[in-house]
A and B are shown apart, each in its own frame.
Chain A
Amino acid sequence: MNVMIRTILFSFAILLSNFAYASPDATTIFCQKYPNSGLCEDQAASCNVCHAGPPSLNDYGLSIKENIGGDLITNLPDALGKIEAIDSDGDGASNLTEIEENAHPGNADVKPGKDITVEYDRKMAFKRMKANYCGESATYQELKGLEAAADPKDYMHKALDVCLASDYWVKEALHRLADNKIMPNAAIGFGGSVVIGDYRFDYRLFSYIMSGGRDARELLSADYHVDENYNKIEGTVAREEGLQLGERIVIAGGQPLEVGRRVGMITTQWFLSNNTMFADLPRNSASQAYRAYLGLDLAKGEGLMPVPNEPRDVDNIDIAKPECAVCHSTLDPLAYSFASYRGIEIGVFDLLLNRIGTYNEGRTDWGGDGVIFGQPVQDLMEWASVARESDAFKKNLANMIFTQALSRKPFPHETAEFDALWQGLAAENYSVNAMIHRFVEMGSFGGKIK
């Protein structure tokens, strides 16, 4: 347990140090100058446009530094203009070309891709589809069948339907996709030596929602759980093991949160226990929800949206300093809504009544002060509603599916396809299966560079 607490504190210290030198104002100015750049798609450009990793500047950032001639914020617009014709990262494309074509002016590995043409290869797409969604190699007979099929596209999509209903996809591949969202740890999960939650519920809920053509927004709205046979469980779920405080410690289990306070993956007992732990203000819960389900990693300078008069430093940890406030002015308001849910609380009644992860409106004074994407929210229900209806949520879903299949982010020449992928979600009632059917027809999935 101490190791985990130390890890959380260490991670948080790193998070603070990363932002000591980054400036959200600078990214805002960058995006005001280049509003149509793909680098500005998520409200503000990421810190890595200029930084190799804060505080280190990349080649583009160094060019700005050489041309700034005074205060960063005042002089930045002029400095950006001065270096547009320069090729800071030496990859053969000017900074302006890279910015306009969704490449990266400070990273020589990311180049404009307008001159790239791709030819769709049905056989290759079929092989990738089988490997990725069935966990199998395409067989000789299947490829012969594809060649002979009157409608090869239909042949492939029928096979894809089989894959997406397979145990491999639902109970293995989707579980692996959920790993960095659930962040399991065998030592403190069900059956472990110090049990603070049962993440089996989290894996099942994630896979259930992400399969079967279900509405993926339920990741942030589901008020049910899923049993080992992948059937819905309505209502609370009693813990399987009773309280134990001996050689083995068991202080949680089941799903005790009242149905009316549930919002899917971010209100499971495990999520709240593992992320909130002992914190009055659950910053870790908020930042993990932001990262896992909206694709915005505050530690990388993503999704910074400072709220005026924040941070208020409600828990007195001395974060009013500018180098702390740069992050906490977004993070703390983001976290207030989580404060009404118990983390690990070790009062006698908390332990006896299995209260970890349950709702307690009076837990703090600031539970109703939340803000997400600049929008004030009264509670986590409203927080999750704003989150799941956002473009960030859709982009994150598309990014999950894209990177899971191809092990990489979209190349610059694939920007239009990627945009179509997430923008088409609403028309398909947020069905991940439907999105995958569209994805396998795209050049990014089944294309060869000509």
Chain B
Amino acid sequence: MKNLAILLLTAVLGSGLASCTKQKFKNASSSPSHAPGSKDGNDPAANKTPDDPKEEGMLVWKRYRAFEKGLMAGLELSKDQLCQEIETFNCIDKVHLTVLGGNDPFENGQHERAERPSVLTAVAVSRVLMAACSQRADLDLQAGSAGASVFKHFDLGAAAPTDAQIQAQATELFQRLLARDPSTEELSAIVDAKGNFASNRGLAVGICYAVGTHVENIFI
């Protein structure tokens, strides 16, 4: 139910945020390429380079380390807190390294990184964001509203927040994850989605996920 609510929020925000993201993903993944030995994908059109700058723009993929450190700083999480597969393997350095833009030359023989994101990059970004946002929400819930570091504009364990509180929280997340203030339209879309969540924690994670998966956090 919690996850369903988050997906609904993402869908609602989609007109303003995800459609842009989707289009950029579509463009950027039109000819994905994978480093040799990639575990996560094997798309056939890997060697199509270079491209028409007018068609694909000149976007630069924010690769694994900047993506990771941006989330760590923005959500005030340590590397180990961010995302761990079965509490053992680091999501960035190990599990999703290739599709997040890295390469492992030593164990996997990947002497070059992928040139572009693959369709699985979106899945990995989504997974890391969900893990990181959930972790931050749990930590802030435990800390209580007085001790919360990121989700501090409404009580995660209490009743429905006000629109002003939601806007303040969204603004904080835009600043933390995208390094800018949100537009009026973006704030309205987030406030309009509040009814899709059964809990304040779910709403907080949903906003975090929607902002964190924004195209601006994946391409520069």
Q: Are B60 and A137 in contact (CB under 8 A)?
A: no
Q: Are A136 and B66 in contact (CB under 8 A)?
A: yes
Q: B44 at the A/B interface (Cβ < 8 Å)?
A: no
In the complex, chain B residues whose CB is within 8 Å of the CB of A131: 60, 62-63, 66, 220
Q: Quick one: which of A183, A184, A447 contacts B58, CB cutoff 8 A?
A: A447
Q: Are B112 and A109 in contact (CB under 8 A)?
A: no
Q: How large is the interface on B (under 10, 10 to 19, 20 to 34, 35 or more residues)?
A: 35 or more
In the complex, chain B residues whose CB is within 8 Å of the CB of A411: 50, 53, 58
Q: Quick one: which of B50, B110, B176, B217 contacts A408, CB cutoff 8 A?
A: B50
CB distance from A101 to the nearest CB of B (A): 13
Q: Are B73 and A137 in contact (CB under 8 A)?
A: yes
**Segment of A172-180, A312-320, A335-343 engaged in the interface with chain B:** A172-180
Q: Are A127 and B179 in contact (CB under 8 A)?
A: yes
Q: A237 at the A/B interface (Cβ < 8 Å)?
A: no
Contact mask A124-153 → B, CB, 8 Å, 1/0?
Answer: 100110111011111110110000000000
CB distance from A103 to the nearest CB of B (A): 10
Q: A449 at the A/B interface (Cβ < 8 Å)?
A: yes
Contact mask A386-417 → B, CB, 8 Å, 1/0?
Answer: 00000000000000000001111101010000
Q: Are B66 and A185 in contact (CB under 8 A)?
A: no
In the complex, chain B residues whose CB is within 8 Å of the CB of A409: 49-50
A118 to B54, CA, bound (A): 11
Beyond A109-B49, A131-B66, A406-B60, is A138–B179 a contact (Cβ under 8 Å)?
yes
Beyond A127-B220, A128-B60, A128-B220, is A137–B115 a contact (Cβ under 8 Å)?
no
In the complex, chain A residues whose CB is within 8 Å of the CB of B217: 137
Chain A residue nearest to B65 (CB atoms) is A135
CB distance from A291 to the nearest CB of B (A): 12
In the complex, chain B residues whose CB is within 8 Å of the CB of A143: 179-180
Q: Quick one: which of A127, A139, A183, A449 contacts B53, CB cutoff 8 A?
A: A449
**Which residues, 100 to 120 on B, are CB-close (under 8 Å) to A?**
102-103, 105-107, 109-113, 115-116
In the complex, chain A residues whose CB is within 8 Å of the CB of B111: 179-180, 183-184
7 closest cross-chain pairs (CB), A and B: A137-B70, A131-B66, A135-B65, A140-B175, A179-B105, A186-B106, A180-B111
Partner-B contacts on A (CB < 8 A): 109-111, 113, 116, 118, 124, 127-128, 130-132, 134-140, 142-143, 168, 172-173, 176, 179-180, 182-186, 189, 405-409, 411, 413, 444, 447-449
Q: List 14 A-B contacts (CB under 8 A).
A: A110-B52, A131-B66, A131-B220, A137-B62, A137-B217, A139-B73, A143-B180, A173-B65, A179-B105, A405-B60, A406-B60, A409-B50, A447-B58, A449-B53
Partner-A contacts on B (CB < 8 A): 48-54, 57-58, 60-63, 65-67, 69-70, 73-74, 102-103, 105-107, 109-113, 115-116, 175-176, 179-180, 217, 220
* Known contacts A109-B48, A110-B52, then 18 further A-B pairs from the complex at CB < 8 Å, ordered by chain A residue: A111-B52, A116-B53, A118-B58, A128-B60, A131-B62, A132-B66, A136-B69, A137-B66, A137-B74, A137-B179, A140-B176, A168-B65, A179-B112, A186-B107, A405-B60, A407-B60, A409-B50, A411-B50
